[in-house]
Amino acid sequence: PATLGVPDLTTWLRRYAAEIVAHEQELTDLDAAIGDGDHGANMTRGMTAVVAVLDQTPFETLDALAKKVGMTLVSSVGGASGPLYGTFWLRFAKPLSGLARTDAATLGLALRAGVEGIQQRGKAEGGDKTMLDAFLPALAAYDAAVDAGAEPTAALRDAATAGRAGCAATVTMVARKGRASYLGERSAGHQDPGATSAALLLECAVS
């Protein structure tokens, strides 16, 4: 389809919540290696709260839904990832203001706004071994696909592939932001937990 609507975003979020639960132990183990071991619990708490919202509230527009998701994550998740993912969804909402459906180009603006929000909030760059190392290549792949005429689902598939590769590339990186940066060089050799949850998020948009 040339456009995605509120039901598609709802499906994406429900799928993500299920995948987070399925990968909770993996996220915990990754964060135990280079952080404080709570990323699995943090993400499960946040996405469980999001599913509770989806079960309770019907949404007319994409921005109303995304904004509520962002506020729910900010208020339910402690730690770095809550405000960062919360900011992603709050900023994602803005280009979709008043829309029940979005085309590929406008969805790209929403993804870009969300990722730029994470950058502004966390002051990290690509290569710092964070969730941005999944999001930034995903965004570039999304835009390239749309420029080549792709529909939203195909562009999201390219974004997911690039996000997974970007996540894998965090293994060799030395962390320069977040708790893992306290380890310095010893953070190398481990995949970043936030890049892993971000890769999952992108994959859930399509599969």
Judged by DSSP in three states, 93 sits in helix
Are the beta carbons of 42 and 50 closer than 8 angstroms?
Answer: no
Helices and strands in the chain: count of H runs, count of E runs: 9, 2
Q: Is 192 in the site for ligand ADP (CB under 6 A)?
A: yes
Nearer to ligand ADP, 35 or 108 (CB): 35
Q: Is 191 in the site for ligand ADP (CB under 6 A)?
A: no
**Which one of 7-15, 48-56, 150-158, 177-185 is the stretch in contact with ligand ADP (CB under 6 A)?**
177-185
Q: Is 130 in the site for ligand ADP (CB under 6 A)?
A: yes
Residue in the block written with tokens 């619990």: 41
Residue in the block written with tokens 């502004």: 120
Are the beta carbons of 198 and 131 closer than 8 angstroms?
Answer: yes
Could you tell me where the DSSP H helices lie in 23-151? Answer: 24-34, 39-56, 62-76, 81-93, 104-122, 132-147
Question: Which stretches of the chain bind Mg ion, using CB under 5 A?
Answer: 31, 35-36, 38-39, 79
Q: Is 187 in the site for ligand ADP (CB under 6 A)?
A: no
Nearer to ligand ADP, 100 or 121 (CB): 121
Q: Is 177 in the site for ligand ADP (CB under 6 A)?
A: yes
Closest by alpha carbon to 86, among 59, 121, 137?
121
Binding ligand ADP by CB under 6 A: which of 104, 178, 203, 205? 178
| Interaction site with ligand ADP (CB under 6 A) | 31, 35-36, 38-39, 42, 79-81, 84, 118, 122-124, 130-132, 177-179, 192-195
